[in-house]
A and B are shown apart, each in its own frame.
Chain A
Amino acid sequence: MATKKKNEKYSKEMLLDFYRTMVRIRTFEEHAAECFTKGMLAGNIHLSIGQEAAEAGAFAAIQPQDYFTSTHRGHGHVIARGGDPKRAMAELFGKKTGYCKGKGGSMHIADMGKMNHLGANGIVGAGQGISAGSALASKIMGDNSVTVGCFGDSSTNEGTFHENLNMAATWKLPLVWFIENNCYGVSTEIHRVTNTPDLASRAAAYDVPFAVVDGTDPVAVYEAMTTAMDHARSGKGPYVVEAKVYRYQGHYCGDPAVYRPAEYMENALANDAIEKLGKKLMDMGIKEAELEEIKSAAQAEMDEAVKFADESPYPDPSEVTDDMYTADNERCVAR
């Protein structure tokens, strides 16, 4: 099989790294879901379960100096980028120790300092402009960074997809767009509202190269993203990668997803990325116990993240008007 042959190029360690990241993402999300169900979190959360392989593979191809944007379904990106699950969980809890001091919440985690994370965004497609603008900044400043805009299938139907890809292509910006296509925008199956079988293929309209890959195979995603990043970094302009993934949960945690046919989840579970990679690793001689150890380490890590978030203080109510403006904040919010 082609994928098996491909995998031989990669060390066990690298595949184990993918496995570890995927398990950590899923475990983080399972912990978040449990907290949400127990009423420990306010608002809404959107889970990345089913998209772990795509995220692990993509972020392995992104260098430390690179930037990225994310979406409402963005916890996985934080974990894959090496973010701190404690601070991410604390943000979900609305706590002062969260990445955004509790002011953003699940849909708005950002970390400009360490992760070069320009923010998850609650507006579908907004990261397209921001990622293209970050790439423009890189071009003007002449630095060596590439910006990766991560977004879902449905945002390819926003005008910004077309406006920004056209400009990025024309100006040869160091930009990679990474589409995680889970086939659903809330309840609407993508092909009911979209006339192309693939989404990345729309890049061809702007003379931008693209790849469509199996998002349950981290190696396939890693390879496509490596090609994309090299292309963008070398000054040839943007590249679009689409990974076909599954969204195990409904749109948000607690959405029963009654609008989805049973086959969707049957296919998803038959292609479960963590199980598939686990089997592959065992074929390569990794013992099951080692995989179990990875899982229990992730459990312990995320238990710790929940404990940290739960025990962290809420922001002081007096902080409510802080951080609106960099200069003259008090006067600007006064009236």
Chain B
Amino acid sequence: MSKKITVSKAIREGLLEEMRRDDKMFIMGEDMAVMGNVFAITTGFLDEFGPNRVIDTPISEEGFLGMAVGAAMRGMHPCVELMYDDFVTVCADPLFNQAAKLKYMSGGQCSIPLVLRMPMGSGRRNAGQHSQSLEGMVCHFPGLKVVAPCSAADAKGLIKSALRDPDPVVVFEHKLLYAKKEEIPEDEDYLVPIGKANVKREGKDLTIITWSREVNFSMEAAEKLAAEGIDVEVLDLRTLVPIDWEAIKASIAKTHNAIIVSEEVKRGSYAGEISAQIAEELFDELDAPVERVCGLNIVSPFSPVLEDQNFPHPDDIVKAVKRVLNK
């Protein structure tokens, strides 16, 4: 059985089911309780779970994320939302120096079962401080797990897995996916395992490795390419850390070509990291150099005309595939 709901509803369902299942879980962040979140993810939660478990915070990101870390050390399961991933810079310490490190530095004495949800991505005309894709920066820090779902089903299944995971998990949610309606299974216990990629489309000529909203653009590109007789495989990573290397390896062993598509600033991107790993370990499988298809090395611009230059569109992906295949 399945039903058709939006990605934001799917996330909401995941949170709601886990709140009902796990009384150690609580939600905190800006505008999460009375308003029920700017994207309506938690409307009604305050009435059902009360103010101890659905907490409106002041605009004190470093403060409340630090508190979530402390609560997690005590065995609670905090689910924190940053209104935009851009704000991770003002709470970098509790995420990167505390949540990510305290297990290791204490010799494994504690787990930090913290989930940090971060709406991200370009295309909403929100300019340079509300549009970034900071996967590369977050994935840099050992100690964190990182997921970036695209579909409604994956968003729900991964958020539920994240909430049940004993380690800190950062969830990148693309804001422009929230309103997209998709089929999801009815099953209340629908989980998508962390660390498992999904072959979204099978193909034999080239592997597009991607995640989040660029999965949809890659699928569009794949259709256009198919019309020209080019058969690409689209691999939706879904999880960035731990990365599903076996899936990447298997796909490249079949196609012998790869591009990596993300919305990130190209320089220092996670796309670059994946490209490097492929070059190091799968060089003999490759027929051509791996290409990164990313944003530019610029600040995300406001003007729609300019912003549209700053993340890969289906046509950019088509062009990149043809370049790599020399067609």
Q: Decide if A46 is an interface residue (CB 8 Å cutoff).
A: no
Among B173-207, those with CB < 8 Å from A are 194-195
Q: Contacts of B233 on A, CB cut-off 8 Å? A: none
B104 within 8 A of A: yes
B66 CB within 8 Å of chain A:
yes
Q: Place the interface of chain B in its size category.
A: 35 or more
Q: Is A335 an interface residue (CB 8 A)?
A: yes
Residues of A within 8 A of B60 (CB): 163-164, 166-167
Contact A163 B73 (CB under 8 A): no
Nearest-neighbour CB distance to chain A for B128, whole angstroms, equals 23
Residues of B107-160 contacting chain A, CB below 8 A: 107-111, 142-143, 145
CB of A140 within 8 A of CB of B143, answer: no
- Residues of A contacting B108 with CB < 8 Å? 101, 103, 322-323
Contacts of A135 in B (CB 8 A): 70
Query: Could you tell me which residues of chain B, from 266 to 309, have a CB within 8 Å of some CB in chain A?
Result: 277
| Contact between A167 and B107, CB atoms less than 8 A apart | no
State in angstroms the CA–CA spacing of A308 and B52 once bound together: 46
Residue with the highest number of chain B CB atoms closer than 10 Å, among A123, A136, A335: A136
User: Do the beta carbons of A134 and B70 come within 8 Å of each other?
Assistant: yes
Cα-based distance from A134 to B278 in the complex (angstroms): 43
Q: Which of B's residues lie within 8 Å of A, judged by CB?
A: 26, 52-53, 57-58, 60, 62-76, 78, 93-94, 97-98, 102-111, 142-143, 145, 165-167, 194-195, 241-243, 245, 277
* B73 → chain A closest CB, angstroms: 6
- In chain A, positions 221-244 with a C-beta closer than 8 Å to chain B are none
A89-135 contacts to B, CB under 8 A, are 98-104, 108, 110-113, 118-119, 121-123, 126, 128-135
Contacts A123-B97, A167-B63, A332-B241; A112 near B277 (Cβ below 8 A): no
Do B242 and A334 touch (CB < 8 A)?
Answer: yes
Shortest Cβ gap from B81 to chain A (Å): 16
A131 contact set on B, CB distance < 8 A = 70
Known A101-B108, A104-B106, A133-B78; 12 more pairs at CB < 8 Å: A100-B109, A110-B105, A110-B107, A121-B98, A129-B64, A132-B63, A135-B70, A136-B76, A137-B70, A140-B76, A323-B103, A324-B143
What are 26 A-B contacts with C-beta separation under 8 Å?
A100-B106, A103-B106, A110-B106, A111-B109, A112-B73, A112-B110, A119-B73, A122-B97, A126-B93, A128-B66, A129-B63, A129-B65, A130-B70, A130-B73, A132-B70, A133-B72, A133-B78, A163-B60, A164-B63, A164-B67, A322-B108, A326-B166, A326-B167, A327-B166, A327-B167, A332-B241
B97 engages A126 (CB within 8 Å):
yes
A199 to B97, CA, bound (A): 26
Contact B242 A129, beta carbon cutoff 8 Å: no
B269 CB → nearest A CB, Å: 16
Any chain B CB within 8 A of the CB of A331? yes
A contact residues around B142 at 8 Å (CB): 324, 332-333
Which chain A residues numbered 281 to 335 have a C-beta less than 8 Å away from chain B? 322-328, 331-335
Q: Does A138 contact B (CB under 8 A)?
A: yes
Provide the bound-state CA to CA distance between A332 and B194, in Å.
11
C-alpha gap A331/B246 in the complex (Å): 11
B15 CB to nearest chain A CB (Å): 17
Is there an interface contact between B105 and A136, defined as CB atoms closer than 8 Å? no
A103 with B105: CB separation less than 8 A: yes
Closest CB in chain B relative to A271 CB, distance in Å:
35
Q: How far is the CA of A135 from the CA of B66 in the complex (A)?
A: 12
Closest to A159 in B: B62
Interface core residue of A118, A163, A328 (most chain B CB under 10 Å)? A163
What number of A-B contacts does a CB cutoff of 8 Å give? 168
Q: Does A12 contact B (CB under 8 A)?
A: no
CB atoms of B242 and A134 under 8 A apart = no
Say how far A92's CB is from chain B's closest CB, in angstroms.
14
Residue contact A140 to B52, C-beta cutoff 8 Å:
yes
With a 10 A CB-CB cut-off, give which of B73, B103, B106, B241 has the most chain A CB atoms. B106
Residue of A nearest to B142 (CB): A324
Given contacts A132-B70, A133-B73, A335-B277, contact A119 B64 (CB under 8 A): no
Q: Verify if A28 is at the interface (C-beta below 8 Å from B).
A: no
**A249: Cβ under 8 A from any B Cβ:** no
Q: Do B109 and A110 touch (CB < 8 A)?
A: yes
Residues of A near B107 (CB, < 8 A) are 98-104, 110, 323
Please report which residues of chain A, range 131-151, place their CB below 8 angstroms from some CB of chain B when the two chains form the complex: 131-141, 147
Please give the distance in Å from A203's CB to the nearest CB on chain B: 15
Whole-angstrom distance between the alpha carbons of A174 and B71 in the complex? 13
Partner of A126, one of B66, B73, B110, B242: B66
Cβ contact within 8 Å between B58 and A166: yes
CA A98 to CA B107, docked complex, whole Å: 9
Q: Within the assembled complex, what's the spacing in Å between the Cα atoms of A118 and B73?
A: 8
Q: Considering the chains assembled together, what is the distance between the CA atoms of A102 and B108 in angstroms? A: 11
Q: How far is the CA of A122 from the CA of B110 in the complex (A)?
A: 17
Give the residues in chain A near B167, CB-CB below 8 Å: 325-327, 332
Q: Who on chain A is nearest to B273 by CB?
A: A335
Task: Report B-chain residues with C-beta under 8 Å of the C-beta of A160.
Answer: 62-63, 66
A331-B242 in contact (CB<8A): yes
Q: How many angstroms from the CA of A108 to the CA of B167 in the assembled complex? A: 20
Complex: how many Å from CA A110 to CA B102?
A: 9
CB <8 Å contact, B69 and A130: yes
- With beta carbons under 8 angstroms apart, the residue of B26, B62, B166 that contacts A163 is B62
Say yes or no: is A19 at the interface (Cβ < 8 Å to chain B). Answer: no
Question: Are A140 and B109 CB-contacts (below 8 A) given A126-B66, A334-B242?
Answer: no
- Complex: A172 Cα to B167 Cα, angstroms: 29
User: Contact at A139–B52, with CB atoms within 8 Å?
Assistant: yes
Tell me the nearest residue of chain A to B76, going by C-beta: A137
Which 7 A-B pairs give the minimum distances between C-beta atoms?
A129-B66, A133-B70, A163-B63, A323-B108, A133-B67, A101-B107, A100-B107
Query: Shortest CB–CB separation between residue B112 and chain A, in angstroms?
Result: 9
